[in-house]
Structure 1
Amino acid sequence: MNGVPVSIESYRGKYVLIDFWASWCKPCRMENPNVLEAYNKYKDHNFTVLSITIDDDAEKWKLAVKEDGLP
């Protein structure tokens, strides 16, 4: 989100949910509360979420992240 490239190698040894989504995808947005719930429940147990957007407009997905309360 801050423009810094991320390598999947940096997640070695963790449980990672890779979530592909877009700000304009209603089913994706409807699933975000469940993804957030899983993250909050297991983040202290070596679990994280790598969220990958397919949006073309960075402002739209950044707004969606804020609206959906995603970390």
Structure 2
Amino acid sequence: MPTLLSCTDPLNQRRTDPHFAAETAAARALGAEIGLIDHDLLLAGDPAAAVRSVPRDRGPAWYRGWMIPSTA
């Protein structure tokens, strides 16, 4: 099963943002690995720090979180 990447709670970096907690709990119940992304760090231009808690070499992943702007 793919890893689910979810945004961290801005007030507690060890848990999922409350807006996405239900989806994260459902994925975890189905056996998915969960990786947390710090959306604020990502938007601040520090992607390495934003994904520091995401396990490496997990294979495919789905992202469930706030929109991430693309650059042209």
Q: TM-score, normalised by structure 1?
A: 0.35
Normalized per residue, which structure has more strand?
A: 2
Q: TM-score, normalised by structure 2?
A: 0.34
Normalized per residue, which structure has more helix?
A: 1
